[in-house]
Structure formats: C-alpha cells, structure tokens
Amino acid sequence: MLLLTCPACGVAADETELAPGGEAHLTRVGPDGDDASFEGYLFQRANPRGVHFERWRHVYGCGKWFHAARDTATLEVFGTYSAQTTAPPDDILDKIKARRPGWEGNA
Amino acid sequence: MSDLSLERAAPRGMIALRGDFDSLAGPCREITGADLPAPLGAAGEGRALLWMSPDELLLLCDPGDVGEVLARLGEALAAQHHLASDVSDARVVFTLRGPGVRDALARITPCDMRPGRFHVGQVRRTRLGQVAAAIRLTGDAAAEVYCFRSVGDYVERLLATALESANRERVAL
Amino acid sequence: MSTRLKAGGRRVDPGKPVTFRFNGRKLKGFAGDTLASALLANDQLLVGRSFKYHRPRGIVASGVEEPNALVNLGEGARLEPNARATTTELFDGLVARSQNHWPSLDFDVGAINARLSRLLPAGFYYKMFMHPRPFWKHVYEPFIRKSAGLGEAPTDADADTYEHYYAHVDVLIVGGGVAGLQAALAAGRAGRSVLLMEQGAHWGGRTPVDGGEIDGGDAAGWIDAAVRELEGLDNVQLRLRCMGAGVYDHGYVTGYERLMDHRPGAPGPRHRLWRVRAERIIVATGALERPLSFAGNDLPGVMLASAVRDYIVEYGVSTGDRTVLVTNNDDGYRTALAVLDAGLDVVAVLDARTSATGALPEQVRGRGVRVLTGKGVAKATGGKRLEAVHVCAQAGEGAVIETIPCECLAMSGGWSPVVHLWSHTGGKLSWDAERAFFRPDPDRAPTGADGEAVVDIAGAANGHLGLAAILEDAHRAGGGEGAPAPGTQPEEAPLHPVWMMPDNARIELREKMWLDFQNDVKVSDVRLAAQEGYESVEHTKRYTTLGMATDQGKLSNINGLAVLAQALDEDIPAVGTTTFRPPYTPISMGAITGDARGELFQPIRRTVLHEWHERRGAYWEPVGHWRRPYCYPEGGESHGEAVAREVKNTRQAVGMLDASTLGKIVVKGPDAGRFLDMLYTNMMSTLPVGRCRYGLMCSENGFLIDDGVVARLDDDTWLCHTTTGGSDRIHAHMEEWLQTEWWDWQVYTANLTEQYAQIAVVGPKARAVLEKLGGMDVSADALKFMDWRDGELGGQPVRVFRISFSGELSYEIATPAGRGRELWDRLFEAGAEFGVMPYGTEALHVMRAEKGFIMIGDETDGTVIPQDLGLGWAISKKKDDFLGKRAQERSHMTDPNRWQLVGLLTEDGSVLPDGAYIVEDGTNANGQRNVQGRVTSTYHSPTLGRGIAMALLHRGPARMGEVVEANKVDGGTVAAKVVSPVFYDPEGEKQNV
C-alpha cells in the first residue's frame, strides 16, 4: 500500500486514492513512425528491479497526473514530480544517485 | 459520547471554474469578495471559493444567482481561456455537525483527519467508502461532504452508518 | 482431573458465575475465564479430534498459538467456526460445539484413520488420488470433503455489523506486554502520537505470571501504573482486544479489533478493521513457547509449560493433581513452582540437559521435587487423556527407565520470538545458535517510503527474554531518554536445543511425535519428505502441510524446520523459515468487508428518474454502477413481451427513454477542435455550431473504445456524449492526454454527466409531443436531423438534440437534473394522447440492432477496430494524425482476413444464442471445432417478427447471401444467411422527417 505525495496538491495520498499509469517518459510515435519504433512505443516497457519512473493519477483527489521515481524492489520513493515534463528533474536524479551509487539510469 | 447529526443540505449554486488562477483572481474577488484560496483551502463567506486543483475552483453561491454569476464570469474572462460550468445539479451536499465529526469520517475515508493535518477551513477531495467525494471542514465540529448526485443515497447511508457508530464510540479523534 | 482451585486466579471473579454450553452440556465458569480455562475447570480435557487421523485432542496452549481447541462458537446467524477456545472470553449463555468428529466427540468413526496412520503418510493424497481420473470428482473428493475440514460454515446471514477505521499516527506499537507499555511510555512522554494495540483483554502480557520485579516492586503494580499514565496522555490511544494483523508497505498496518465477541448482540460493530498509516511501527509481540517432539505429545493432558502456569495463576485452574515437567531450559521450572504454589504435586522434572544448576532449578529442588537431568520422555501414554509418562535417557533411543503416572505433562522446548509482523514486509532474521531461535536482524529492517527502517522490534520479539533487557530494548525503541525502570528476575542458564526426544528415537516413536497438531504432521512425515527429495522448506511445507493450518504453524514451524535440517544434514539457518504472511491470526470476513454489505455493498447510481421507473414496475438492468430500466412489464407480461410492446409502440407511436446516464463532457478552449480531431477518428473541428456528429474514439492500439454524438456549442466549445460506461473512463482518457502529452494545448474539460437529466422522446409522434408542450420550434426545418438547439419546453430550460439511436424521429432533451423529473412528467402527460410509453434498455438495444447500429461492448471487445464494423466512413482520410491511426495501419489491422461485421438471418427465423460461434469445417490442434466468426448481438425483432443478429465473420461483407452455421448451446448448429446488418429502414427515411 503505497503512499505517494501528489505534487499538484501536496496531499500524501493513499494508494487507494491513486490510479497507476505505467512507465513514464515514453515518447509518442505517430503516423510517421516505422513499425519497430511504433511497436516499442506501444508494447515495450522497462521492468527494472530497482529505480523506476512511473506515472500516477491522483484520481480520488485533485485529478492530476504526476510522476513518481521509486525503487520497485524496496518501494523507496525518491520523489514525485510534475507530469508536464519529458525527463526526471535534476534534484530527483541527484537523490537517486546519492541513494543508489551504482545507478546509471534506466536507458 | 458525542451527538452527531447529518442533513442533506438545501440545493446550492455551484460553478466549476477552470482557468489560470492569475486571471481568475480578479473576477472571483469581484463576485465573491474573497481572494483565491490557498491549495486545499476555501475562501469567502456566503459566496465562497473552494480549491479543487491547481487549475480548478468551485464557486459557491445562491442557486438563483448561478446564471448571473456565469454571465459575469463569461464577461470578465471573455479574453481568457477558461471554462465555467454550472454543476449545481450534479452534486449533493451533506452537512455534518457534532464534536465527533472527524472520528466519524475516519471510518470511511483514507484521508488523514487529524486536527494537525486537516485544518478547519480546508477541503479535501478523497474517497468516501467506494466513491469520490470532497470533505470541507467548516468548523471544529462541523463538516460538509460533497458527492455526485447519483450516489447521494449511498453516501447518505454511508455517512449515517459512520455517524451512528461515532455517536456510540469515539475512537481516536 | 483438571479442576478449579479454591485459591482462584488473577483474572477470574468467583463472585460472577457464568453458565455456558459445550456440546449441549450446561457448564459453569466465572467472569474473566476464557472458554478454554472454563472447559478445563470442568474437566473437559478432550476438546476436538485432529484433522487427518481424528486423534483425541486437548487444550495445549493458553493463547493465540492454540492448535487444537477450535470450536463452532455460537449458533444460527452468529455461528463462527474454528474459534479458538483459548482466546474466547467466556460470557453468559455462550454455546460451543467441538469440531471434526462424527457421530460424537467421545466416539468418533474417523478415528479409524489413526489405526491406518501408516497408510496415510506425507503426500498421501497426492500419491493416492491421482488415478483413475474420474474417481477424483465422484469418489475421492466427496469422501475427503466429508472426512476432512474443521469447522462448519454458517448457513445464516451474519447478524452483526462491522466497520473500518483509518488511523494516522506517529508511532504504532503492536503488543501490550511490558515491552509495548514501556515503548508507549517512552514515545508518549516524548509527545508523539501513539496507538498501542493489544490482542488480548489484559495489559502486561505474560509478565504477571512469569514473575519478576520492575522498579523495585511487583510487575503487576508497574503495569497498572504504566496503563494509568498512558491513559492520561492525550496523544496516546490504547486498544485492547485489538491485534496487529499485518504490516504492509509504507507504514501501512491492519489491526483487527474484536469489540463484541465477549458480549454478543450488544449494539455496535462486532469487529473493526484498523487501517493504520504509521510513521514508525514498533513490534512488541513477545515470544511463544515451543512444544517438545516426543511420542504421544498430542495426548490430552500434555500442555505447554507456560500454559499450565497460566491456567493456575490467571484462572485458578488446576490441569491435574500430578504434574510432570519436561524441559530443556530454566524457564520451564517456573511452571513447577506455580504448580507447587497451588498446593499440587510435581512428581518429577525431566530436564534434557545434563545439568540444571540455575536459580530456578535450585528453587524447585529445594522444595523437594525430583529433578532428573539428561532425561526425556520416551512416550506419553493414555487413551482420551494422559495416564503416564515413560522416562528415557535423552541421549538414547527411547528405552523406558521408569514410568510415572500423572494427569498433566508440562513441556517446554524453549521460546521463539514472534517475528511475524517484522517479517511481513521484508524484515530479515538471523539464527541465534545459543538460544536456538530466529531473531530479527536489526541491520535488515523493513524500510519505508524514505528508504529508512520503518519497523522496529522490541522486547522478547526482538530476542530479549529477560525482564531487564526487555524493558531497556523497549525504551530504546520508543525513543526514550536515559534509562527505563530496571527489571529484575532470576538469572537463567542457557537452554539445550532439543528437536527430537530422545535424540535417537526409533521410527515407531517418530511416528507418534507430532509437530503440527492441527494438520496432523509428525516428525516421520517431515523426514519422509526430506528422503523423497524435498529440500526446500517451502516445498516441504506444502507436501506435508506443516504449518498450513489455521494456526499457521505457530507451534510447529521452528521444530519442523529443525527436523528438516537434521534430516537434510544442514544447519537450521541454511534451511530457513517459510514466509510469514498476514494476518497474524485469522480475521473475520466481516472485518475485511467492513460496512460494504447490504445496501452499502456497492454504490448504486440512480438517475433523477429512478423513483418514477421503480413505481412503474421497471425490471432493472445493472449498467456499470447505474441501474437502468430493462423494460417495464405490464399486467402479466413476460420481459420478452414487454420489450416487444415497447419496441412496437415506439416505432408506431412514441416512446420515452431515460438517457441520463449517457456521458456528457464539455471540451473548451482555443485548441479544443484540434484536440478532438486527435481524439476522434473523424473530423470534429469542422463541425458547425448548432450541429451534431457521430464520432468514434480509439485507443493508441487502434481499437474502438467509445462512440457517441458530439455537438458543437460555440466557437471553442464542444459537448461530447459518451456511452453510459464510458463517461468517467473517457473523461479520464481526455485528461490523461491533455495533462501528460499535449499540456501546452489550451483545452479544459468538465464531466457534466450528472448535471443534466436527458430524456429521449422517440417515434413518429415525438414531434407532436414536443409541440404540445410548446416553447420552441422543433419543426423539421427549424430543427433538422443532427441539429441541436437551446430553448424552452413547457417553460423549462432545455437543450434539444435531434439525434436517433433507433432509426425513428427522435429528440434527446437535456435539462438540469434537479428539474429532470418535472420535464419527464410533463412530456409523459403531453404524450398521453399520442400513446406514449416508457421503454427500457432492451427495447433500445433491439431497435439499434434492427438499424445495424453498433454497441460498444457488444460489437467491440477491445480487439475490434472501426474498419471491422464497416465504420470506415467515420474515419477521416484528411487528418494527419489521430489516436489509433498509426496502429490501424499495422499489417494485422489491414489484413483482409479479419472478421468483419455482417447481419445474420436464421433460415428458420429463430433467435441465435448469445455469443454463438460461426463454425467452419475441421478441428483445431486441441480437437475443437474451427470457427470463422462469432455472434455479437442477437435479438428477436418484434418489427420483423423473427430473429436477427449481428456477427463478426471472416471476410464477412464479401459473403452476402452465403449460408453459414452457428452453434447452439445444446449442441448442433443453426443455419443463417449472411445479410447486411441494417435490417430496418436502410434508407434512413424514418428518422429524417
């Protein structure tokens, strides 16, 4: 039962107030995309044991989407941040690197 | 032993107002006399503004004034991207009174009802039983609950059950 | 004989007698008794039969670890199976029945299994009942079901109520023994908000029985003072009869509070499920004593040493005049002292250790008790109760040295910390070889959202068994400053681990050594599992069922895995423990359910016309959480007849439908047109103000997810109608794209579904009804097909959409929900002279199917694209992009071999079964009939007087006129001709008048 702080309203929301939205920072592939890149966009998902960036929606609260950076094994939450971004912000990345010295990103 | 009461409030005018808060502030002050509320807050007496999300307010007024308020908003915000919708009929409001209000609500919402965490005057959109609802603490021993009209009967019974239990036993709050 | 002692006990009140019934027999106890202590006071040693061999079983323990004393508690609507007698507080009028025996507890036919025990080893069921296969269903299973199982499931609806409670605290402490109290004092004095849960009805745990001094006075006095102080602190909550059930992620803990079990029928919820978010959790759950594994250790009269002294000290109950103590540690001697203090006889102490010179053994010797060191129990013998203990050398094979007649055998195999809650969410354990138990590893504590330890553990649960160490540890965990109240107890010598008694017991003894009393698992079973190659403790558990009963192996786990380790010639830590899972002890289904039963089972969404429908005798159909009228039967009509009448009346005169549940989402902004062009497959930005357009929405996968009519309200505002089930989903879909992909687009949405009641007035006389009401021009010229207008009808503000889902002249009229009923009544009144009737969702479905209109969820199932449904006309060729466009170009989507929409007319006019397949020649690799399509909608059409169906058929539209076969439920097939899915008014003349 996760507890995630919604950055839009500041509420520490119970998992039952949230809806999960899967992996974050996917780039949409539109009509111009070739088959391989479109397949990657639609179906290929990272499933790391460790640091992961996810989308959540505060559906029973302010209704806003946000991003969460957390460890899928320990469930440590490194931070939550705005949905209106294409990459994790530096302060979150710094925190992850401090907590997980060997981590070099999920790419 | 507290003495809690529950009432379905008389219809009230409700306008869902979405827009950039900087552009909403002026017209809202003119219409309600209040400054915009802080996040999770409420502002204004009589006509009031409840904070719903970073780009949404719920404006409360007399049901008879909704048309006039919508017109004034439309005029004042004509040049601004915004959306003002009459939602007076979409929701029902319950008023809860009695010193055990927090304790009763703690039976049905995961929202932290502790006095230090949920201040009088604040509004929380959360889950009540199995449906979405908003809780507005209007006093130390008073609250309003907003929910969708279609689940009004469910919420009324849910609240009544929680209040009955809280009337019998104050647990932690 | 077990009996009540004159001296009385700490908890029972002889001034308050209580009567209860056990197996129909009226018995007496006292207020403060548990059912178990009262049964013992009445010499009811035999309390049940074991699960597999139906062996006679008695009370072993005095708390939650009890494996045997499970009863059917209560009757009728308050019957609870598998209730533990040891944790059931006695009340006047309590009714209990023993379980798992037939015809009676004393004479049980199933006991024959015990004679056959050599034929029922570990894995017996797996090995035996595999073949022949049909036997399982018809012979084995009924037999096993009858002979196995413990309690009886209640047949009446539960008479009680239940509730949840969400609590948020700084510190949650589980366990109200001296450790929990000390931790609460430390945290509470520091001003932290504290919730302290104790599963039992008393504070202080075992300490008052086990003795010792705290702060220079007796422990009971300190406990009382601690509770008084805590009660005086506003920031501390104390809950008795409240068990910490499970620890989950991010400081989430469930607690199980039993409010009314000791006073059934009193007003208020019976159980309360606490749902706690704690910043810090302190587990202070104490320790449990382990039994010893010797032959006959399951006889009634053989009990845990700690339980024997609990019954004497707490309840004033003697468990027998003559007690033998068998132990491997000093603590067990406390029981000898308690027995002696009660004026009863300790015939002998058998200590498996070669010497016993600690303070406690010396005290016992000093009182003239024979202490035999290096000795153990070869076997305990008796029938339905213990008669004698046969002494042997612990180091030997079990040759009997001496036989001692006695009524009670108190056994102590040492203590195991209760680490369950520490382990639930990942806390790790380490093996303490000196004390022979698993203890929490402080360096590998469960972590919370911040990555730091969120669970702490204190006292005996943390492996501290002495009073002084327990208090110090709890003080630390609670965050206390300085030193806590000092505790003093006699020094204890180390134990000697004994996993089997005697060390080299022969097979015939091992076959009588019970590890898991409740599931009837013996030392020989675990050794057999090891022999057969089960090396993992998790596999052994499942093969033997060790630890899988309702007690979850509280007594058996450590002994069982030690036996497994021995058999595998491994160290105990290498074998490891099985996984600890919540809840700590079983909790009621009612507590999990909370208030969600009866009318609160599920929220029912009601439109403002719900009451009208109800009064009209609507037969309801659940649509999501809504209830919509399926039809309105009149007189003695069947549902089918009512539907037919409603369809005919609507097609010939006029019908009214409550369409309020349809989603209504307003989309507004400078970029709203662009946004809707992305969302819908067709073009919405070009829709003129005042007009409506039918639109399709697809997911990025290309699949059709929703459809509905879009109206353009003004230059930058659109109103999107969705399906009933799509309202919340599509609004969320819109917000997702706006917030997470196109956040720089200027668009706002609002879900106004519930703001409006919407009423469809449908049929050739629909216009006449509206005109009768008056107020706006609804003529064919002023309000054309697919127009909408704001206006007034009968003085009420309305928005009228001229759209049709039936093929008839049709108006959908929206008005603020608060006035919906008023509008409905007026329309109905105005329609009376035109023969208006309400119609339900089934008539709606029939009429749309007659017209070949698709229904989301019938023609679609998440794998269907609009092109499959002949809806290519609604897919814009002009747009560069829309959600699903790229996916619809994938090779599988453009494959001409897809199943595509057609109509089917059965050759005999019958109605095809729902979900029927259109079969093809031959069979697939699984021997199943090949298929080439399936029926998606099938109805009796009252308009055509025959069955009609829509189906997805392989290359369907190219096969018009072909006859195919659809299968029937009872076997066989029906022949049907492939036709256009539009069965009625293909030119659309009726709706365009």
Q: Summarize pLDDT for C433-448 with one digit per residue, the tens.
A: 999 999 999 999 999 9
Determine whether the interchain pair A9/B110 forms a contact, defined as Cβ–Cβ distance below 8 Å.
no
Give the CATH number for residue C639.
3.30.1360.120
User: Do C36 and C101 fall within a single domain?
Assistant: yes
For an interface test with C, which of A58, A76, A99 has the most C Cβ atoms less than 10 Å from its Cβ? A76
Q: How far apart are CA C740 and CA A83, in angstroms?
A: 6
Q: pTM for the whole thing? A: 0.94
Question: Measured between CA atoms, how close is B55 to chain A, in angstroms?
Answer: 10
CATH top-level class for B13-86?
alpha beta
User: Do C539 and C646 fall within a single domain?
Assistant: no
Residue C409 lies in a domain: no
Determine whether the interchain pair C755/B171 forms a contact, defined as Cβ–Cβ distance below 8 Å.
no
Does residue C353 contact residue C373 with C-beta atoms inside 8 Å?
Answer: yes
| CB contact residues (below 8 A), chain B span 22-51, against chain C | none
For an interface test with A, which of B108, B123, B125 has the most A Cβ atoms less than 10 Å from its Cβ? B125
A2: closest CA among B130, C165, C251, C171? C251
- Residue A59 has φ and ψ, to the nearest 5°, of -70, -35
> B143 pLDDT exceeds 50?
yes
User: Do C459 and C557 fall within a single domain?
Assistant: no
- How many Cβ pairs closer than 8 A exist between chain B and C? 117
Determine whether the interchain pair B53/A12 forms a contact, defined as Cβ–Cβ distance below 8 Å.
no
The residue among C454, C470, C488 that closes a domain is C488
User: Do C479 and C543 fall within a single domain?
Assistant: no
Question: Measured between CA atoms, how close is B106 to chain A, in angstroms?
Answer: 14
Cross-chain CB nearest to C449 (options A3, A28, A33)? A3
Q: Residue C379 CA to chain centroid, in angstroms?
A: 43
* DSSP structure class, residue B63: G
Assess C252–B contact: CB distance below 8 Å, yes or no: no
> C63 pLDDT exceeds 90?
yes
B78: closest CA among C99, C371, C167, C716? C716
pLDDT band of residue C992 (cuts 50, 70, 90) is confident
Nearest residue on chain A to B128, judged by CA atoms? A60
Assess C885–A contact: CB distance below 8 Å, yes or no: yes
Apex C454 CA angle, C449 and C459, nearest 5:
170
Instruction: Compute the mean pLDDT over every residue in chain C, rounded to the nearest whole number.
Output: 95
Query: Which value, in Å, is the radius of gyration of the alpha carbons in chain C?
Result: 37
| CB contact residues (below 8 A), chain C span 270-329, against chain B | 272, 275, 277
Q: Summarize pLDDT for C145-204 with one digit per residue, the tens.
A: 555 557 788 999 999 999 999 999 999 999 999 999 999 999 999 999 999 999 999 999
Residue C886 three-state SS:
coil
Nearest residue on chain A to C881, judged by CA atoms? A31
Domains and CATH numbers, chain A: 3-99 (3.30.2270.10)
Q: How far apart are CA C583 and CA C554, in angstroms?
A: 13
Q: Which pLDDT does position C670 carry in this prediction? A: 98
The residue among C570, C588, C621 that closes a domain is C570
Percent of chain C exceeding pLDDT 90 equals 90
Determine whether the interchain pair B129/C596 forms a contact, defined as Cβ–Cβ distance below 8 Å.
yes
Cross-chain CB nearest to C600 (options B55, B110, B161)? B161
Assess B11–C contact: CB distance below 8 Å, yes or no: yes
Q: How far apart are CA C64 and CA C10, in angstroms?
A: 20
Determine whether the interchain pair B90/C754 forms a contact, defined as Cβ–Cβ distance below 8 Å.
yes
Determine whether the interchain pair A35/C880 forms a contact, defined as Cβ–Cβ distance below 8 Å.
no
Q: How far apart are CA B157 and CA C913, in angstroms?
A: 41
User: Do C459 and C554 fall within a single domain?
Assistant: no
Residues of B in contact with C735 (CB under 8 A): none
User: Do C166 and C246 fall within a single domain?
Assistant: yes
pLDDT band of residue C52 (cuts 50, 70, 90) is confident
3-state DSSP of chain A: CCEEECCCCCCEEEHHHCEEEEECCCCCCCCCCCHHHHHHHHHCCCCCCCEEEEEEECCCCCCCEEEEEEECCCCCEEEEEECCCCCCCHHHHHHHHHHCCCCCCCC
Q: Summarize pLDDT for C874-909 with one digit per residue, the tens.
A: 999 999 999 999 999 999 999 999 999 999 999 999
pLDDT band of residue B1 (cuts 50, 70, 90) is very low
Q: Summarize pLDDT for C601-652 with one digit per residue, the tens.
A: 999 999 999 999 999 999 999 999 999 999 999 999 999 999 999 999 999 9
**b/e C946-968 (16+ beta carbons within 10 angstroms → b):** ebbbbbbbbebeebeeeebbbbe
Question: Measured between CA atoms, how close is A31 to chain B, in angstroms?
Answer: 30
Question: Measured between CA atoms, how close is B3 to chain C, in angstroms?
Answer: 16
Assess C519–B contact: CB distance below 8 Å, yes or no: no
The residue among C97, C127, C156 that closes a domain is C156
Assess C743–A contact: CB distance below 8 Å, yes or no: yes
- Pairing between strand C455-457 and C271-283? parallel
Determine whether the interchain pair A16/B39 forms a contact, defined as Cβ–Cβ distance below 8 Å.
no
Assess B110–C contact: CB distance below 8 Å, yes or no: yes
Mean pLDDT confidence for A1-13 = 97
User: Do C863 and C834 fall within a single domain?
Assistant: yes
Residues of A in contact with C892 (CB under 8 A): none
Assess A74–C contact: CB distance below 8 Å, yes or no: yes
Determine whether the interchain pair C816/B86 forms a contact, defined as Cβ–Cβ distance below 8 Å.
yes
| CB contact residues (below 8 A), chain C span 657-716, against chain A | 700-701
For an interface test with C, which of B59, B86, B149, B167 has the most C Cβ atoms less than 10 Å from its Cβ? B149
Q: Residue B107 CA to chain centroid, in angstroms?
A: 19
User: Do C815 and C846 fall within a single domain?
Assistant: yes
- Pairing between strand B56-61 and C837-838? unpaired
Surface-to-core class of residue C368, CB atoms within 10 Å of its CB (0-12 exposed, 13-18 middle, 19+ buried): exposed
User: Do C104 and C223 fall within a single domain?
Assistant: no
Give the CATH number for residue C945.
2.40.30.110
Nearest residue on chain A to C749, judged by CA atoms? A63
Nearest residue on chain C to B86, judged by CA atoms? C755
List residues bridging with C760 in a β-sheet: C657, C812
Interface partners of B (3+ CB pairs, < 8 Å)? Answer: A, C
Task: Give the amino acid at B40.
Answer: L
Nearest residue on chain C to A85, judged by CA atoms? C740
Residues of B in contact with C818 (CB under 8 A): 11, 88-89
Determine whether the interchain pair A33/C886 forms a contact, defined as Cβ–Cβ distance below 8 Å.
yes
Mean pLDDT confidence for C461-488 = 95
Q: Which pLDDT does position C119 carry in this prediction? A: 62
Q: How far apart are CA C940 and CA C640, in angstroms?
A: 9
By mean pLDDT, which of A97-106, C236-245, C565-574, C790-799 is the weakest?
A97-106
Q: Summarize pLDDT for C706-763 with one digit per residue, the tens.
A: 999 999 999 999 999 999 999 999 999 999 999 999 999 999 999 999 999 999 999 9
Determine whether the interchain pair B110/A11 forms a contact, defined as Cβ–Cβ distance below 8 Å.
no
User: Do C81 and C223 fall within a single domain?
Assistant: no
Q: Residue C752 CA to chain centroid, in angstroms?
A: 35
Nearest residue on chain C to A29, judged by CA atoms? C886
Assess A103–C contact: CB distance below 8 Å, yes or no: no
Nearest residue on chain B to A14, judged by CA atoms? B110
pLDDT band of residue C126 (cuts 50, 70, 90) is low
Q: How far apart are CA C583 and CA A97, in angstroms?
A: 37
Q: Summarize pLDDT for C235-258 with one digit per residue, the tens.
A: 999 999 999 999 999 999 999 999
Instruction: Compute the mean pLDDT over every residue in chain B, rounded to the nearest whole number.
Output: 96
Domain coordinates of chain B in residue numbers?
13-86, 91-168
| Domain carrying residue C85 | 1-156
User: Do C13 and C146 fall within a single domain?
Assistant: yes
Architecture of domain B91-168 in CATH?
Answer: 2-Layer Sandwich (3.30)
Question: Measured between CA atoms, how close is A62 to chain C, in angstroms?
Answer: 12
Q: How far apart are CA C310 and CA C319, in angstroms?
A: 10
Cross-chain CB nearest to A30 (options C732, C736, C886)? C886
Residue carrying the six token digits 């039994």: C291
Nearest residue on chain B to C163, judged by CA atoms? B107
Q: Which pLDDT does position A107 carry in this prediction? A: 52
Assess C191–B contact: CB distance below 8 Å, yes or no: no
> C480 pLDDT exceeds 80?
yes
- Pairing between strand B56-61 and B48-53? antiparallel
Mean pLDDT confidence for B74-78 = 97
Residue C308 lies in a domain: no
Q: Which pLDDT does position C99 carry in this prediction? A: 84
Cross-chain CB nearest to C739 (options A42, A71, A83)? A83
Question: Measured between CA atoms, how close is A107 to chain C, in angstroms?
Answer: 20
Give the CATH number for residue C531.
1.10.10.1100
Of C131 and C353, more confident: C353
For an interface test with C, which of B52, B81, B88 has the most C Cβ atoms less than 10 Å from its Cβ? B81
Q: Summarize pLDDT for C297-341 with one digit per residue, the tens.
A: 999 999 999 999 999 999 999 999 999 999 999 999 999 999 999
Q: End-to-end distance of chain C based on CA atoms, in angstroms? A: 96
- How many Cβ pairs closer than 8 A exist between chain A and C? 67
